[in-house]
Amino acid sequence: MRHSPLRIGVIGYGYWGPNLVRNFHARLDAEVAAVADVDEQKLAQVHLHYPSIQCVSDAISILHDPRIDAVAIATPPSTHFALARKALEIGKHVLVEKPMAMTSIEAQALIGLARARKRILMVGHTFIYTSSVQKIRSLIENGELGDLYYIDSVRFNLGLLQGDASVLWDLAPHDLSIFLYLVDERPTAVQAFGQVHIGAEKKEIATVTIRYESGFHAHIHVSWISPVKIRLTLIGGSRKMIVYDDVEPTEKVRIYDKGVSLKESGESVTAFNPIYRAGDVLIPALDRREALEREISHFLNCIQMGVTPLSDGESGLAVIRILEAAEMSMAQNGAFVPLSR
Ligand SMILES: NC(=O)c1ccc[n+]([C@@H]2O[C@H](COP(=O)([O-])OP(=O)(O)OC[C@H]3O[C@@H](n4cnc5c(N)ncnc54)[C@H](O)[C@@H]3O)[C@@H](O)[C@H]2O)c1
């Protein structure tokens, strides 16, 4: 069945908003009807590139526009909750950037509202829509890696320092959404440390350790004070291991047939007889389509078909619960903070 194009309002045209506008604009099943930004200079940019798109400085007028079916919110995180709540109350479908809100109570309120109004609520966990992460998930699901041991993620760059969010709330949602998507087991506890060097209170470096009951272990290191850009995730399993380097232009995922086990002598296993296995390295061919294009296509499809998004409100909430526990751990000098079920 062919649907008429969905009319989209984009709120926030700073760094990320233009990517949303570009991707929605390129589609046949969507039309960007309006863009809102409080900054007139940003609106002048919209007008320059897309003269047919209506530009407004007040997001509320987009939310009240009956011609608009859905909104994409790409404003600073502290504004997400109020804008998304208003949008859902008025009856719009919502794609809200990560982190979806600043507390789990706010996130739960948005989930409840979307359910009550029967509207799609999707969170911009862009990385789970990359062909790399999708490929890794299928490898894990098919048992290629064997038993999962760990995920280790490093996400460094010089900036972009945010005014209203620490590096933990800005960058760690990417890694957390990837972990939650890849690993079926739910985490049980979180330990975190953070450092402030440049600003007054927003941490620019953070490390987070996440515990799981099975012994599987996840670790994240995020930083805004790095001379180079690094986006590296290592996933270790009993059979194979993966290095996912998102900065690599083409060969982003490498699957190593490597491992170590202990030599068994009769009944006993001795730690002093490790056997290292070093087989082939496989670099799978991946779909080169932009992740945001796939994300937006999924959002539009979820609206048209009434399907729950992969990155729904619940996944946004799961990320926020871990961020809150990490904040609590930092405040307690790195104590492990249990995650409520
Ligand atoms: N999914 C991704 O990969 C990804 C990448 C980058 C940023 N983001 C997210 O996108 C969001 C925006 O980040 P950014 O880097 O573009 O920030 P930014 O500060 O560059 O842009 C935010 C824009 O929102 C505007 N704005 C602020 N309050 C507004 C309001 N009430 N109404 C209308 N406009 C308003 C600002 O004027 C600014 O132009 C953040 O939540 C960030 O985490 C997501």
pLDDT of 243-280, one tens digit each? 999 999 999 999 999 999 887 766 555 567 888 999 99
Please state, in angstroms and rounded to a whole number, the distance separating the CA atoms of residues 148 and 141.
11
H or E element at residue 9 = strand 6-11
As to burial, measured by CB atoms within 10 angstroms (0-12 exposed, 13-18 middle, 19+ buried), residue 264 is: exposed
Per the CB < 8 A criterion, the answer to whether 328 and 337 are in contact is yes
pLDDT value of residue 199: 82
pLDDT value at residue 270: 58
Q: How many angstroms separate the CA atoms of 211 and 227, rounded?
A: 30
Distance 286 CA to ligand 1 centre (A): 29
Distance from the CA of 15 to the center of ligand 1, in angstroms? 6
pLDDT tens series, the chain, 341 aa: 667 899 999 999 999 999 999 999 999 999 999 999 999 999 999 999 999 999 999 999 999 999 999 999 999 999 999 999 999 999 999 999 999 999 999 999 999 999 999 999 999 999 999 999 999 999 999 999 999 999 999 999 998 888 889 999 999 999 999 999 999 999 999 999 999 999 878 999 999 999 999 999 999 999 999 999 999 999 999 999 999 999 999 999 999 999 998 877 665 555 678 889 999 999 999 999 999 999 999 999 999 999 999 999 999 999 999 999 999 999 999 999 999 76
Cα–Cα distance measured from residue 321 to residue 107, given in angstroms and rounded to the nearest whole number: 10
H, E, C per residue of 92-115: CEEEEECCCCCCHHHHHHHHHHHH
Question: According to the model, what pLDDT value does residue 266 have?
Answer: 60
Residues in the chain: 341
Q: Which helix (H) or strand (E) holds 314?
A: helix 313-331
What DSSP character marks residue 122? Answer: E
Q: Which of 10, 11, 13, 15 to mutate to test the pocket of ligand 1 (most atoms within 8 A of CB)?
A: 15
Domain ranges for the chain, please list them.
6-127+291-296, 131-290+321-338
Q: Kindly list the distances between the CA atom of residue 337 and the CA atoms of 106, 140, 327, in Å, as whole numbers in the listed order.
A: 21, 28, 9
Which of these CATH numbers, 3.40.220.10, 3.30.360.10, 3.40.50.300, 2.30.30.60, describes 131-290+321-338? Answer: 3.30.360.10
Architecture of domain 6-127+291-296: 3-Layer(aba) Sandwich (3.40)
Q: Which helix (H) or strand (E) holds 261?
A: strand 253-265
Ligand 1 pocket list (CB less than 6 A): 11-17, 36-39, 42, 59, 74-77, 79, 97-98, 124, 126, 170
